[in-house]
Amino acid sequence: MLMGQPNYRNDFALTLHPHTLDLPLRWKKPRKIFVNSMSDLFHKDVPEEFIARVFDTMVRADWHQYQILTKRADRLEALAPRLPWPAHVWQGVSVESADYTFRIDHLRRTPAKVKFLSVEPLLGPIPDLDLAGIHWVIVGGESGPGCRPLEPDWVLGIKDACARQGVPLFVKQTGEKLARRLKLKSKKGGDAAEWPAELRVRQFPLPVLEGL
């Protein structure tokens, strides 16, 4: 059982948990909620009806802010016109390298009010990154067994693209290999105070829920 949690009794096999769908309705204090953080809501095997139920909960529990991230950007675009997109539901796509920038075009064509990119783990430079219609970029390095290195110049390239196009950037972590190279105390390089000054960028987009 993964991490000792009953919901992960099937490890990484896709498993639906309809009994959790109403949890946000029970949480009265506003939260930032990363939807389906251990999987992908737009995976081909997640029924459209289940996705619609997730969105229904997010619409009803509108005092929270939701962030959805997917690699299945083509399915996202196909289903997006049939889903509600209030401003407190943010939609993102993963863009690990220049090979995956096509996902941004799929995201751009959705009605999501707030669109973001997770450039994490960043596995190579992404030159000429077009951020038209994008509201936020998160970038970071990889950690864990078999993790691959992050080069500061790749991050600085993303930083320059964001600055030129007026898009807020959040540098999340350096990843383990760069953390070791920079002799950081934090294993994953998540403490921005330890980084070179040019990497210390942690900006947030608007709108955000007050107090979160």
Count of domains forming the chain: 1
Angstrom distances, CA of residue 59 to CA of 17, 20, 29, 66, 196: 19, 16, 16, 10, 41
Q: 204 lies in a domain? A: no
Q: 191 lies in a domain? A: yes
Predicted local confidence at residue 15, as pLDDT = 55
Closest to 140 in 3D by CA, of 79, 180, 95: 95
State pTM to two decimals. Answer: 0.89
Strands of 114-119's sheet, edge to edge? 32-35, 65-70, 89-94, 114-119, 136-140, 169-173
Q: Count CB neighbours of 141 within 10 A.
A: 28
Q: 130 lies in a domain? A: yes
- Domain ranges, residue 131: 2-199
Q: Which residue is it, tokens 């959705």?
A: 110
Predicted local confidence at residue 36, as pLDDT = 80
CATH number of the domain that 129 lies in?
A: 3.80.30
Q: Which residue is it, tokens 């979160």?
A: 212
Q: 136 lies in a domain? A: yes
Q: 209 lies in a domain? A: no
Q: Are 48 and 56 within 8 A, CB to CB? A: no
Predicted local confidence at residue 210, as pLDDT = 47
Q: 145 lies in a domain? A: yes
Any residues with CB less than 8 A from the CB of 145 and at least 6 apart, and which? none
d(CA 174, CA 140): 6
Q: 120 lies in a domain? A: yes
- Please list the pLDDT of the chain residue by residue as tens digits (212 residues): 334 444 444 454 555 556 778 899 999 999 999 998 778 999 999 999 999 999 999 999 999 999 999 999 999 999 999 999 999 999 999 999 999 999 999 999 999 999 999 999 999 999 999 999 999 999 999 999 999 999 999 999 999 999 999 999 999 999 999 999 999 999 999 999 999 999 999 999 876 654 44
Q: Are 166 and 158 within 8 A, CB to CB? A: no
Burial zone of 20 (CB within 10 Å; 0-12 exposed, 13-18 middle, 19+ buried): exposed
Q: 89 lies in a domain? A: yes
d(CA 62, CA 114): 15
